[in-house]
Amino acid sequence: MKRAIITGGESGLGAACADRLRADGIDVITFDVSPDADYHVDVTDAASIAAAVADVGHVDILINSAGIIGPNRPLIESDPAAWERTFDVNVHGTFRVIQAVAPGMVERGWGRIVNIASMAGKDGNPNLSAYSASKAAVIGLTKSLGKELAKTGVLVNVITPAVIDTPMNATTSPEVLAHITSLIPMGRVGRASEVAALVAWLTSDECSFSTGAVYDISGGRATY
C-alpha cells in the first residue's frame, strides 16, 4: 500500500484529497495544526516536520496543501509581518516539507509530489499581493524541482485552482471573492472534489510522463 502525507489535510482541498486518496486505497497521513490531524505539524516549524516525517517512515506521495490567504489589502498598505507570515506558510512551508520527504523518495526510486498553488500565482489578484506572490513562488519552485528530479522516478507537479468552495475563502473579503469569481467563464466556483480528482491522477502510476508541469483547474479562467 502506498503512503501519502497531506499537509493541511484536515480542511479544504487537503481534506478532499485525503478523502479521495483513502477511497483509492492509499494510506493517508495528515499533517495539520488542527487537533484532529494524525500529526500536529506547523509547516513553519522545521523541527516538528522532521520529527513527524521520521515517525511516519517511508512516504510515496506528498501533497502540499497547507496555506493561508494572508492580508486582504492593497500592497502599499500591507503589514510586513503579515506578508512574511504568508510566505513562511505558503512557500517556506512547502520547501521544508519537500526537503524532509523527497530524499527518501529519490532513494527508493518512486515518488509523487503535488503542490497546491493558485490561479492568483499566474494572474495576480488585486488586494491579495502576498498570496499571489507566494503562489507564484510555489509554481517556480515546482518547475525547478521537477527538472532536478526528472530522472529519479520522483515526479513533481503543481495545481493552480481558481476560487474553490473551501473554508479558506471565509477569510477573503466579499468584494475580492466576488471579483475573482466573476473572472471564471463557467460562472461558478470549483468544488474541492474536482481538485481531488486531478490530484488522484497526478499521484498515480498512470501519471508517468509529466513533471514540473502546471495544471489549471479554473472553469475556463486560465489564459496561459
Separation between Cα atoms, residue 169 and residue 136, nearest integer Å: 19
The phi, psi pair for 90, rounded to 5°, reads: -75, -35
| CA–CA gap between residue 52 and residue 11 (Å, rounded) | 19
Of 39, 131, 215, 224, catalytic: 131
The answer to whether 148 touches 142, Cβ cutoff 8 Å, is no
Task: Please check whether residue 78 is in contact with residue 101, taking contact to mean a CB–CB distance below 8 angstroms.
Answer: no
**Cell 487537503 -> residue:** 14
DSSP 38: S
Residue 127 grid coordinates: 488586494
Closest by CA position to 66, among listed 12, 134, 131, 129: 12
d(CA 110, CA 28): 17
Q: Residue 161 forms beta bridges with which residues? A: 217
User: What cell does 63 get?
Assistant: 501533497
**Radius of gyration (C-alpha) of the chain in whole angstroms:** 16
Widest distance between CA atoms in the chain: 50
Based on the residue annotation, tell me whether 131 is a catalytic residue of this protein.
yes
Active site residues: 131
